[in-house]
Amino acid sequence: MSDSLSSLYGGRGIALTHGNGSRVYDTEGREYIDFFNGHGAALFGHGNKTLHDALIEASNGIWTCGAGFESPVREELGDKLAKLVGDGRVFLSNSGTEAIEAALKLAVSARPGRKRVLACRRAFHGRTCGALALTFNPKYRTPFAAVVPQSEHYSLEEIAEQIDKEVAVVFVEPVQGEGGVFPVPPETGHAVTEACRKSGAILVADEVQAGLGRCGAMTASSLVGLDPDIICIAKGLAGGLAIGAAIWKKELGDFPPHSHGSTYGGNEIAARVAVAALGLIEKKNLPAQAAEYGEFFRAELTKIGSKHIKDIRGLGLLNGVELDIASADVIKALQKNGVLSLAAGPRTLRFLPSYAATKDDMLKVTEILSKTLEAFK
């Protein structure tokens, strides 16, 4: 990595130049099966023609006009997203953490006087200060404790019983991705939803990674018993372009005037590609495909006879393999063997295949993972 660039993210040791479908290529011409996909942002894989054409079309028009002006494409995107909560309102941002920030501010303003903010152990909601307060791992929060708001973290199993009339908002990931790929048990999701309804607390579902059909339904919340007042989405919404959204039920009201905003959020280029992406999901019924392919992939993974595999879990195209060895070491070995993956904690591999991935890709990844694990004694 160049000395001029921050070393925040470490280094993979390769530079990717282009991709096609489920494959990417580096500067040496090596091919990789991409089950990393930019932390899941390349939900449709690489080089998707529909998204490419939408990007070219958008680039010929105005790139950004500012949120105060009317924008037909932004309004079209807002109308499509609002349907995710029935009849909703939408704030468009540039990222998942910004969507979380918007949800936090909206919820607190809608429940004045309530002081408690709840999130889950193992949760990851982002690294900006508000989102950081909700993120569980102390390694992210401790260096910035002086400027991070207070929140409370409980296990999935105990959070419902902590929800009372002093709670303004509860944040839950339908699938805890960064925390180890743990889907919320449906009975837990129902209990959290019921507790929020009873107390008047606002329920926020962080679907930044799990949403948009990746887990087998347009909203992952619907699979795990959650009925959120606000849904946050981002990764994959424009196939890899920077965009995020907070979507909420109209009965919550709106932000106080001039209390929130975004210069680039909902710009015409990202919005046009996002509209095309949502059209693809609907036209090709991609959530159903994700459910089928994910079940197939997990079934194949269970056939690996390695003693290093302790558990396999996930929903749709968001899958984790828990190991008894360091996930970072296995990720490096997989990369050498032509597969890109990522970690979900110190001992869990995460696989985020795109909609472009085939069952043959999943068979190949399973075979490579099996052979890779054989080398670890």
Ordered structural domains, the chain, with CATH? 16-48+285-374 (3.90.1150.10), 50-283 (3.40.640.10)
Distance CA 179, CA 202 (A): 23
Q: State pTM to two decimals.
A: 0.96
Q: How many CB atoms lie within 10 A of CB 250?
A: 12
Selected residue with higher pLDDT from 257 and 359: 359
For residues 190 and 225, the answer to whether their CB atoms sit within 8 Å is yes
Collapse the DSSP code of 287 into the 3-class scheme (helix H, G, I; strand E, B; otherwise coil) and give the result: helix
Distance CA 252, CA 362 (A): 42
Structure tokens at 66: 């500012």
Distance CA 290, CA 316 (A): 5
Partnered with residue 21 across adjacent β-strands are: 46
pLDDT mean over 294-310: 97
Distance CA 248, CA 139 (A): 31
For residues 47 and 22, the answer to whether their CB atoms sit within 8 Å is no
Containing 59, the helix (H) or strand (E) segment is helix 49-59
Dihedral pair phi/psi, residue 209, rounded to 5°: -100, -35
pLDDT at 352: 98
Confidence of residue 2 (pLDDT cuts 50, 70, 90): low
Structure tokens at 65: 């006009």
Structure tokens at 208: 């930044």
Query: What are the angstrom distances between the C-alpha of 287 and each of 38, 58, 130, 185, 346?
Result: 20, 26, 31, 20, 29
pLDDT mean over 339-362: 98
Is the pLDDT at 7 greater than 80, yes or no?
no
For residues 266 and 71, the answer to whether their CB atoms sit within 8 Å is yes
Q: What is the pLDDT of residues 240-281, one digit of tens each?
A: 999 999 999 999 999 999 999 999 999 999 999 999 999 999
pLDDT mean over 67-91: 95
Q: What is the pLDDT of residues 31-70, one digit of tens each?
A: 999 999 999 999 999 999 999 999 999 999 999 998 889 9
Structure tokens at 335: 């990369």
Is the pLDDT at 339 greater than 80, yes or no?
yes
Give residue 192's identity as a one-letter amino acid code. V
Q: CA Rg, the chain, in Å?
A: 20
pLDDT at 309: 98
pLDDT at 195: 98
Distance CA 320, CA 183 (A): 10
For residues 92 and 265, the answer to whether their CB atoms sit within 8 Å is yes
First to last CA, the chain: 31
